[in-house]
């Protein structure tokens, strides 16, 4: 199936329900409204919360503070979120500014707002909060692991290789913290049920994990908590839980679309109020209740042989960590991109007085590849090589560390396609004056992200009237997963898409891989394929015993559903629809395990990003004129959706490059530009001609010969843009976003205008 999103028509007609839209007709009840009261300062202890005035307001029903909040049990957060280390409203201690210190429950939103305004906090101030790396020297600790990535690693003796290298670079790069800023601020509805269970309506990215967290916190368990979950992942997972999490569409995500804390605060508030509650996040709440991409500083030294081959990569990241286990996995990807003799990674992490940091598109890799690719450009300049030629020279034919062959890699094709589309080889010299007086610059960078498969199980029924019902609790956050999976099932079975139903209620359907890390479609499709294999085996076994069947008497071994047929190992086949009609409904459960490339080969998506920029020589205003991204994501399942994903991620990369930062008031520790009008993301007017090319193809003819899309496409965009600025002006970018302050710094040593013309 090649087309538009299955849920697209409902969304553009306003018929797709988002959590905040849910009313009595869907819920069966009218919830009270709950709003958070947050701490204005980043450290201290609450002496007293004066709720009297608020409780006297008409419509205010309850106020929950650390004093009357339900006690929660410890949770294990597989997603390394804040509740794993800090549960809400369990103590009077303030760990960061914007922390929830009370929740007001009222009959209307207006009453709840008035209640929030009427609450007075009496806080005993603590020591000054530390919220930036600049102020955190004495909090930096060397780490072995940085989140899911390594904190330390080495190949050979990188320091002596660096000392012996003919050409070297040494730069310190900086990335400001920023937020996902999904368009939908988010809401969670919670109701306690008669059997002691809880019904929760939310939009989450990996709902069995989130349901498990809710179950653990309230002592319900997702059955048996962690071991139970693992058991279910390995075995079957059709299971009724007392955590009834209904997962809805989300209006954007990119790492997080609802606060993990809100998933707990809503049931807590419902218990305190004794009635169903809808916890609503204000826009400002989204900055401190939800995670952010953390600040990172990286010293990068590269050493090269005279011909440009990489002799040494020494990367020393300092990573900010908030009140969550999550650490930006900066060290995970930079050594997987280029062939190199030696490397050393030495990471340090500083625990800061900030909300928990978390996943945001291209976690770790978006920061790390910015630094690596800027370093490669500096190296190319010293070697007097074309930046693209330096990348081609160091192209990794096998995995640069393990030496394992790649499952599929079309990065050279991506370089060629992107370079051709932008005219790289014929580009004007950097700084050439355009007809309008501005300076021209070109830049390029590589992109990479790891291919992974996460655990998933799927239950599939093929019906006698030739329909497929797939039960799998996946999360659709706008990325097109439902459409992609439906298309894949159609391809696997030969059934038309309109005969395929995806049932995705989290409370009753099978455990699905989350919509995370560009793995959702692949992992869940692998589980579905496994289920279909099981059905095929059973169906073949039945039909070989059926005298009326064309497959009568054949060996059933290695039977496969190859839409639209059931195919046997000996090459014989029969139409699947006929067999189903004859033998009735067929069901099977399948699973996918946690792997990093099922083939034992190294697996990653790749890309090459090219940028043309115009810079005003006087004001340093920049316009990204063209952005070309050529990506190797294996086979493309849904061209329209893939192009939209890639283009969207490139625009996000443009935001990372040019404007996205959330600033902090170092005195209080609070985010200062915590609103959409001030925390800038690109507008239509910032978005240039964006051209998306796909170059990959699968390793074989199987349906699973595709790779992740979403994360890879943000990688490489920021360094390509930064390089184009350097090409145009000579000013080298060290910090993202490259706002005026950074651009002025970059050119300050170069331009006569910045030297200060003597004024009279």
Partner 1 sequence: MTPPVLRRDGLPLGGEKWIAGGTTLVDLMKLGVERPAGLVDLGARRGELARITEAEGMLTLGAMTTMAEAERDPRIRQRYPAVHLALSLAASPQIREMATLGGNLLQRTRCTFFRDGRSACNKRNPGAGCSAIGNPDEPRALFGASGHCVATYPGDLAVALVALDATLSVEAADGSVRGMAGSDLHRLPGDTPHVETALDPGELITGIHLPLPDWTGQTYVKLRERASYGFASASAAVCVRLEGRTVVAARVALGGVASVPWRCRGVEDWLQGRIADRNTFLQAGRACVSRADPGVGKDAYRQELCARAVTKALLVACNSASDDAV
Residues that bind partner 1 (CB under 8 A): 40, 110, 113-114, 117, 284, 433, 435-437, 439, 616-621, 623, 658-659, 663-668, 670, 672-675, 677-678, 680, 682-686, 737, 739-741, 744-745, 751-754, 756-760
Q: What is the DSSP string of 718-730?
A: HHHHHHHHHHHH-
Rg (CA), the chain: 27
Choice between 282 and 705, CB closer to partner 1: 282
Give me the phi and psi of 426, to 5 degrees please.
-110, 20
Q: Report the C-alpha gap between 457 and 448 in whole angstroms.
A: 28
Strands 348-355 and 310-323: parallel
Shortest distance, position 676 Cβ to partner 1, whole Å: 9
Q: Is 124 helix (H, G, I), strand (E, B) or coil?
A: strand
Shortest distance, position 744 Cβ to partner 1, whole Å: 5
Q: Which residues, 6 or more positions from 624, have their beta carbon under 8 angstroms from its beta carbon? A: 611, 612, 613, 654, 658, 686, 688, 721, 724
Q: Report the C-alpha gap between 396 and 372 in whole angstroms.
A: 15
Choice between 84 and 682, CB closer to partner 1: 682
Cis preceding linkage at 737, omega within 30: yes
Q: Report whether 694 contacts 629 (CB < 8 A).
A: no
Helix/strand/coil percentages in the chain, nearest 5: 30, 25, 45
Choice between 98 and 276, CB closer to partner 1: 98
Q: Report the C-alpha gap between 349 and 358 in whole angstroms.
A: 14
Choice between 325 and 724, CB closer to partner 1: 724
DSSP-assigned beta bridge partners for residue 440: 614
Choice between 40 and 228, CB closer to partner 1: 40
Shortest distance, position 660 Cβ to partner 1, whole Å: 10
Q: What is the DSSP string of 283-330?
A: HHHHHHHS-EEPPEEEEEEEEE-TTS-EEEEEEEEEEEEEESS----T
Shortest distance, position 142 Cβ to partner 1, whole Å: 29
Nearest CA to 215 out of 240, 233, 238 is that of 240
Q: Which two three-digit tokens encode residue 520? A: 């959702």
Q: Report the C-alpha gap between 177 and 679 in whole angstroms.
A: 11
Shortest distance, position 499 Cβ to partner 1, whole Å: 42
Choice between 41 and 162, CB closer to partner 1: 41
243 alpha carbon, distance to own chain's centre? 25
Shortest distance, position 742 Cβ to partner 1, whole Å: 9
Shortest distance, position 402 Cβ to partner 1, whole Å: 42
Element holding 590 (H helix, E strand): strand 586-592
Choice between 59 and 156, CB closer to partner 1: 59
Shortest distance, position 685 Cβ to partner 1, whole Å: 4
Shortest distance, position 14 Cβ to partner 1, whole Å: 18
Shortest distance, position 257 Cβ to partner 1, whole Å: 22
Shortest distance, position 441 Cβ to partner 1, whole Å: 13
- What order of strands is seen across the sheet that includes strand 198-202? 60-65, 100-106, 32-38, 277-280, 187-192, 198-202, 243-247
Choice between 463 and 739, CB closer to partner 1: 739
Shortest distance, position 658 Cβ to partner 1, whole Å: 7
Shortest distance, position 741 Cβ to partner 1, whole Å: 4
Choice between 295 and 341, CB closer to partner 1: 295
Q: Tell me, letter by letter, the H, E, C secondary structure of 733-754.
A: CCEECCCHHHHHHHHCCCCCHH
Q: Which two three-digit tokens encode residue 699? A: 């390793």
Choice between 142 and 753, CB closer to partner 1: 753
Choice between 569 and 744, CB closer to partner 1: 744
Q: Report the C-alpha gap between 189 and 187 in whole angstroms.
A: 7
The beta strand positions in 164-259, using DSSP E, are: 167-175, 178-179, 187-192, 198-202, 243-247
Note the helical H segments in 65-133: 109-118
Shortest distance, position 420 Cβ to partner 1, whole Å: 28
- Residue 688 DSSP one-character state: -
170 C-beta neighbours (distance < 10 Å), count: 13
């Amino acid at each position: 199936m090649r087309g538009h999103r299955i849920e697209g028509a409902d969304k553009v007609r306003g018929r797709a329900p988002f959590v905040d839209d849910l009313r009595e007709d869907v819920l069966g009840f009218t919830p009270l409204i709950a709003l958070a009261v947050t701490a204005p300062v980043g450290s201290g202890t609450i002496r007293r919360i004066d709720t009297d005035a608020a409780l006297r307001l008409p419509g205010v029903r309850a106020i929950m503070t650390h004093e009357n909040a339900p006690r929660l049990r410890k949770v294990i957060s597989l997603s390394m979120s804040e509740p794993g280390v800090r549960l809400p409203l369990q103590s009077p201690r303030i760990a960061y500014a914007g922390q929830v210190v009370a929740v007001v429950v009222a009959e209307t939103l207006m009453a709840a707002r008035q209640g929030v305004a009427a609450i007075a906090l009496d806080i005993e101030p603590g020591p000054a909060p530390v919220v930036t790396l600049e102020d955190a020297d004495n909090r930096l600790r060397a780490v072995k692991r940085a989140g899911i990535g390594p904190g330390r690693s080495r190949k050979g003796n990188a320091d002596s290789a660096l000392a012996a290298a003919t050409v070297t670079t040494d730069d310190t790069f900086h990335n400001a913290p920023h937020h996902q800023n999904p368009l939908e601020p988010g809401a969670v509805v919670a109701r306690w049920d008669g059997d002691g269970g809880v019904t929760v309506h939310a939009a989450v990215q990996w709902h069995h994990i989130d349901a498990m967290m809710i179950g653990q916190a309230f002592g319900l368990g997702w059955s048996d908590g962690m071991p139970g979950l693992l058991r279910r992942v390995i075995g079957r997972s059709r299971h009724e839980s007392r955590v009834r999490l209904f997962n809805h569409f989300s209006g954007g995500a990119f790492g997080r679309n609802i606060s993990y804390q809100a998933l707990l605060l809503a049931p807590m508030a419902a218990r305190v109020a004794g009635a169903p509650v809808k916890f609503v996040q204000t826009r400002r709440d989204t900055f401190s209740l939800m995670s952010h991409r953390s600040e990172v500083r990286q010293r990068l030294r590269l050493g090269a042989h005279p011909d440009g081959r990489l002799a040494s990569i020494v990367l020393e990241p300092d990573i900010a960590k908030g009140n969550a286990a999550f650490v930006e996995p900066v060290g995970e990807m930079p050594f997987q991109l280029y062939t190199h003799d030696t490397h050393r990674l030495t990471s340090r992490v500083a625990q800061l007085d900030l909300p928990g940091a978390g996943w945001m598109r291209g976690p770790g890799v978006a920061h790390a590849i910015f630094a690596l690719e800027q370093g490669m450009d500096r190296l190319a300049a010293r070697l007097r090589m074309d930046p693209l030629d330096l990348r081609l020279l160091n192209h990794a034919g096998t995995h640069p560390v393990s030496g394992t062959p790649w499952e599929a890699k079309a990065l050279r094709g991506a370089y060629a396609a992107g370079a051709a589309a932008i005219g790289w080889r014929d580009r004007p010299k950097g700084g050439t004056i355009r007809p309008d007086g501005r300076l021209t610059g070109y830049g390029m960078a590589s992109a990479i992200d790891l291919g992974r498969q996460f655990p998933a199980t799927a239950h599939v029924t093929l019906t006698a009237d030739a329909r497929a019902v797939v039960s799998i609790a996946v999360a659709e956050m706008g990325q097109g997963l439902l459409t992609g999976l439906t298309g894949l099932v159609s391809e696997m079975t030969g059934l038309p898409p309109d005969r395929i139903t995806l049932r995705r209620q989290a409370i009753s359907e099978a455990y699905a891989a989350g919509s995370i890390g560009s793995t959702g479609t692949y992992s869940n499709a692998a589980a579905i394929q496994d289920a279909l294999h099981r059905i095929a085996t059973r169906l073949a076994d039945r039909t070989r015993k059926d005298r009326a069947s064309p497959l009568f008497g054949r060996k059933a071994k290695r039977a496969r559903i190859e839409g639209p047929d059931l195919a046997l190992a000996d090459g014989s086949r029969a139409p699947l629809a006929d067999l189903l009609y004859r033998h009735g409904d067929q069901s099977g459960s399948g699973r996918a395990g946690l792997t990093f490339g099922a083939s034992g080969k190294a697996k990653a998506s790749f890309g090459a990003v090219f940028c043309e920029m115009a810079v005003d020589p006087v004001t340093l205003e920049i316009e990204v004129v063209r952005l070309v991204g050529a990506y190797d994501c294996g086979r493309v399942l849904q061209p329209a959706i893939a192009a939209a994903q890639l283009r969207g991620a490139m625009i996000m990369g443009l935001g990372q490059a040019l404007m996205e930062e959330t600033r902090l008031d170092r005195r209080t520790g609070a985010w200062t530009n915590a609103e959409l009008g001030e925390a800038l993301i690109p507008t239509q007017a910032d978005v240039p001609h964006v051209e998306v090319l796909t170059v990959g193809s699968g390793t074989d003819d199987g349906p699973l010969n595709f790779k992740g899309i979403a994360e890879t496409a943000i990688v490489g965009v920021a360094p390509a843009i930064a390089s184009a600025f350097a090409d145009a002006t000579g000013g080298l970018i060290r910090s993202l976003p490259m706002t005026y302050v950074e651009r002025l710094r970059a050119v300050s040593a170069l331009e006569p205008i910045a030297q200060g013309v003597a004024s009279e």
